[in-house]
A and B are shown apart, each in its own frame.
Chain A
């Protein structure tokens, strides 16, 4: 237990990084996933094709590979750079990887939501003269999103846990910090482990409860 108290500032910073990774990737994934879902239901076959290919590739590639590709492929080979600080740069590259990966799942959740919106809603919107994009933005997506708040919550919980994969390219989030502490406090591996596990539960459990509450509160009554 001693180590957990001694190293509290380090642990706190590590989890703060986990939270920032989650928020940045989560918001980007929500935006990108919504655009992808719009592409997948668009009347243009090219857009549908791109959307489908994206989802199938990203969803079927292990996240570790995606993150390593972002770190090594984008970062080292293609020299994509966001900052002169190496650690900040890898942080951004890991956010790209997490966002790109999570967006595929967000897209599929939203697409499932679109399927729950009765066809008559879109027809009525077309009948008053809304364009395809107005129809999507004003009528279909608001209802679709509200139908999939609970699944989006599950995706967010998965994302919180998935941020640990950023350790693969040296981002010092919670799991990498835990490994470092194992090495410096060899006698206290078990307490340190449970301390970090508890940290994740503290992040994920309220997230799940919040999204369950939101999904009930915002449900569209038909």
Chain B
């Protein structure tokens, strides 16, 4: 609790900069995410959205600036970093389920190896989570035997199995066939409704409208505009945001 009695924010990025060689991918990023908040990051490709998402669990390092998670600066390496990552779930564009492990093993590996749960307990909870995302019947299959939408729902269950304080979604539906997008979005909308803190990089405007508390528009490595979904989609202030919206909303 801070002095004024409000819960402190979960994530604070302050003056974050990052370069890939000569490319300045993150420029003076300042962003605060509160507990229970759902932040959707949108913007043109190559604008730094995924990189921003990946800095929060330090899959990408930053050149300057600070990132704090739950009041602590991100650990640089080793066990402290592993502990941080265990508290921040991540769902990738390409699912990245462990290819040599069954669906259930994918969900129980973290709880057993990182949290020290017994196999029985981890499997009980793993099955619950798989049932919840409607994959219970496929628990003994391998990832390659599932459709993209099913794999991505398993990936969400895998993240949830760690009881994370937050989940990062890095374009979770971009690699899916169109008919499978909704089943994944439905799970995400459910999570948002339950109060999970989420950062979602996506092009799904429907999801942003329905589940987001805030939309962050990024272009050329900068946060150009932040607003509520309704205000952003109906009356974007910046030229770049208007231009971007006109390209994706007119058809």
Contact = CB atoms under 8 A, between A and B. Distances in A.
Interface in A175-222: 220-222
Interface stretch (B96-104, B184-192, B227-235): B96-104
Interface string A117-137: 010110111111111001000
On chain B, which size bracket covers the interface? Answer: 20 to 34
B59 A139 contact: no
Given A129-B83, A221-B144, A120 B94 contact: yes
Contact of A130 (B82, B94, B99): B82
Interface in A131-160: 131, 134, 138-139, 142-143, 146
A123 to B, nearest CB: 6
A120 B82 contact: no
Contacts of A222: 99, 144
Contacts, number: 73
B57 interface: yes
Contact of B99 (A121, A127, A128, A138): A121
B85 A220 contact: no
A130 B144 contact: no
B90 A134 contact: no
Contacts of A124: 90, 92, 96-98, 155, 158
Contacts of B159: 128
B100 A123 contact: no
Interface stretch (B17-25, B62-70, B107-115, B210-218): B107-115
Interface in B93-144: 94-100, 109-110, 113-114, 142, 144
4 shortest interchain CB distances as A-B pairs: A129-B86, A120-B96, A124-B96, A128-B110
Given A129-B82, A129-B110, A221-B142, 16 more contacts: A120-B95, A121-B96, A123-B92, A123-B96, A126-B59, A127-B59, A127-B85, A127-B90, A128-B162, A129-B87, A129-B114, A130-B82, A130-B114, A139-B98, A220-B99, A220-B100
Interface of A: 118, 120-121, 123-131, 134, 138-139, 142-143, 146, 220-222
Interface of B: 57, 59, 78-79, 82-90, 92, 94-100, 109-110, 113-114, 142, 144-145, 155, 158-159, 162
